[in-house]
A and B are shown apart, each in its own frame.
Chain A
């Protein structure tokens, strides 16, 4: 995923701190750039349902935007946003786990069943890209986060370490384990930084 150039990062932070219309435009820009990515990332916290992941992503974006005064624009924005989101998602997931289980909303079960059928059909058709998606979606939460950050976002081990509060060496080792697992399933497609 392409990283935001430093001049744009500075402009975004400055606009956010300026307030008024400039801040609104900056928030909408941050939203457009990160919302879908954070929804995908939030899905690696299984405590969230589909709609919770959407809400969690929005909350994380708001938290990141409000925290931009602490952001050093000399450093890439993506790891910083993902670090804020990771903390927020973990807090929200803990709160969600304490809540009593909610009933499924009307149509939600059908939507889940449709999604599952879609996965199964893709697997049956043997499309490499969909098999990769299914394999990543089925990983345990912690590995799925790692896979999203390493294989989807293509962040470095050092960046992932800062996001997940882990030493870079541990990140490298866990990615290599993950890569070996994926290599076994998709020898034609695996890579990692």
Chain B
């Protein structure tokens, strides 16, 4: 009885919090995302992590080895050699995923100073 009475202000507080949330139904895009068949959900999901992981591993290898040969090779050329069929698309995706930190040009190209 006492617990119920003590809960009342919290229930009222929660009700006010909830009533302060603007109500809306799901957008068509949200519905489509929720209802898309599993196999179509993320068409590249099965592919992207693997090849992005491989590209990242190459980047780490480049940075850690730091040999003259590695220094000559940019990550973009490594991606191009590894996936010649769709290198451009992969480079663009990797550049986007790296948040602009990825230098798609040759390693000896001029770089901006942060």
Contacts and interface: CB of A to CB of B under 8 A. Distances in A.
Interface stretch (B21-29, B52-60, B69-77): B21-29
B38 to A, nearest CB: 8
Interface residues of A, number: 34
Contacts of A58: 26, 30
A20 B104 CA distance: 44
Given A130-B16, A136-B13, A189-B6, A28 B26 contact: yes
Query: How many B residues are at the interface, by size bracket?
Result: 20 to 34
B26 A154 contact: no
A152 B35 contact: no
B13 A191 contact: no
B33 A128 contact: no
Interface in B46-89: none
A117 to B, nearest CB: 14
Interface of A is mostly: helix
B34 A132 contact: no
Contacts of A130: 13, 16
B3 interface: yes
B34 A27 contact: yes
Nearest to B36: A66
Contacts of B31: 24, 27
A58 B12 CA distance: 24
B9 A189 contact: yes
B44 interface: no
A151 B10 contact: yes
Given A31-B26, A190-B6, A152 B14 contact: yes
A191 B35 contact: no
Interface stretch (A36-44, A71-79, A102-110, A157-165): A36-44
Interface of B: 3, 6-7, 9-10, 12-14, 16-18, 21-23, 25-26, 30-31, 33-35, 37-38, 41, 99
